[in-house]
Amino acid sequence: MLVRTLFLLGLLLLPGALHAEATRVEKAGFASRLTIYLAKGPPDACGPGCDRWIAIEGEIDGDAAPRIRRFLAGVKDTQRPIYLHSPGGNVEQSYVIARLLRSRKAIARVGRTIATACAAGTQVDAACLKLKNAGGEVEAELTTYRAMCNSACGYLFLGATSREVAPDAALAVHNSRLVLLLHGHPAPEAVAEYRQRRILSADRDRAAFIAAMGISRELDALIRTVKFEDLHVLTRSELYRFGIDTRPLAETTWTLEKEARPFIRKIATMKKENGSSFRTMEWRLSCESSKRVPLTFAGEIDETVIGKSMIMMTADADKDEEAGGFSLRVGKYEVWRGSIDSDMVKAILASRSLHVREIISMPDDKTDITRFDIDLTGLAPVWTQLKSSCALSTRGPISSWPAIPRQAAPWQASHWPTSPWTASPPPTVSTTPSNAPSP
């Protein structure tokens, strides 16, 4: 019988789950063992009124689920969000952890937790891991930029009942690999037969798991087409269509870019009204010039829309202060660049939302208006950082503009493609015209 000739340990693993790959995982910035800890950041670090979260990061090892179970049993606040940053690992363990998250009705997001005490070095050296595993609350910062939840981590992520993938983070999938540990010298045909049975069983388990998590079977169909050696980063449309992240508008936090000419950036992706496709947009606030603050907007052009586009923006605190104007086309993007005075800056910093109107002037003299709000939470402290950075900055070259979020690479950060928007700084466009259409 097969069981008498084979002693097999079959595990569904990702690269790095084998001991021979551990060094590669470490070099990629991930610990070779899944780590979970409590983190605390500045006000609104994880959203309005949220400054505490649970971090889960590293490779999903073969003993991860029991540790996660014990840890979560001691965290009574089930509404504390969980941020994941992992290259993947053991698929079977990810299923178990996913069901733990489902039982808690967990809130899960893709994000990197950066422990403040470890910022000078790596986040996975021995001292930093000791700090994270000490059992206390770790002072940390949170970012979604280049955060990833790949392969087996994606299954873990599906267990949460609330799931969010920021525009500058990534959820990537591929087919799994069956690794067999053979003892003795079994016949090749017996090994091939056993392997085939295990693969078929694994495919059935994955399909059943995805269905149990309430996710479209399209995800399983897609996974079957992606080779183990590759990774497919799910697009915003796929995240929405599969039922993974069903937000029609997804945003990054306000982020300071410390370049020769510093600026603050926010990126958002918004579902188009007709259809399932999404449009990416970006806002930038730059260093003050002559007591005015440069404000720039860029958005992907909808080629199906005919007409001239105008962007108008107001803040909660003072809706009489308004900025915007007609956009200019720069490649595949429409760009408005102007400036706002100190009163509007104060209004924006005192507000929770930036109210945006996009106005399309049609050839038949009709107008089409799209309204949406952009979250201003967290802008105030970043604005303070910008002012300090501006005081120390030099007049260097301006970075590529606009800067669409870069897709996550499976392992090495060096694989992240550079921005496809390589246009020079957009032309200056006048501020709010006097004949701007009203709602």
User: What does the pLDDT look like over 182-223, one tens digit per residue?
Assistant: 666 777 777 777 777 888 888 899 999 999 999 999 999 999
The pLDDT of 300-329, averaged and rounded, is 88
Are 11 and 90 in contact, with CB atoms under 8 Å apart?
yes
Q: Please, are residues 81 and 108 in contact by the beta-carbon 8 Å criterion?
A: yes
Q: Which of 101, 127, 99, 102 is nearest to 31 (CA)?
A: 127
**Percent above pLDDT 90 for the chain:** 60
Got the DSSP string for 171-200? EEE---EEEEE--S---HHHHHHHHHHHHH
Question: How far is Cα 394 from Cα 262, in angstroms, rounded to an integer?
Answer: 9
Q: Collapse the DSSP code of 45 into the 3-class scheme (helix H, G, I; strand E, B; otherwise coil) and give the result.
A: coil
Whole-number pLDDT of residue 15:
30
189 vs 233: which has the higher pLDDT: 233
Question: How do residues 14-54 score in pLDDT, each as one tens digit?
Answer: 333 322 233 354 446 798 899 999 999 999 999 999 999 99
Give yes or no for residue 264 having a pLDDT over 50.
yes
Q: Tally the residues of the chain.
A: 439
Hey, is 142 helix, strand or coil? strand
Question: Quick one: average pLDDT of 55-78?
Answer: 95
245 close to 166: Cβ distance less than 8 angstroms: no
Q: What is the CA radius of gyration of the chain?
A: 24
Taking 3-state DSSP, the helix, strand and coil percentages for the chain, each rounded to the nearest 5, stand at 25, 30, 40
Spatial CA neighbour of 85 closest among 106, 107, 113, 64? 113
At residue 3, does pLDDT exceed 70? no
Rounded mean pLDDT of 147-174?
96
For residue 234, what are the contacts with CB-CB under 8 A and spacing of at least 6?
Answer: 165, 170, 171, 172, 173, 242, 244
Rounded-to-integer distance, Cα 12 and Cα 97, Å: 15
d(CA 145, CA 400): 17
Residue 437, pLDDT > 90, answer no
d(Cα 369, Cα 110) in Å, to the nearest integer?
33
More confident residue, 128 or 306: 128
Give me the pLDDT at residue 153, please.
95
Single-letter amino acid, residue 73? A
Token couple for 253 = 């936090």
pLDDT-derived band at 229 (thresholds 50, 70, 90) equals confident
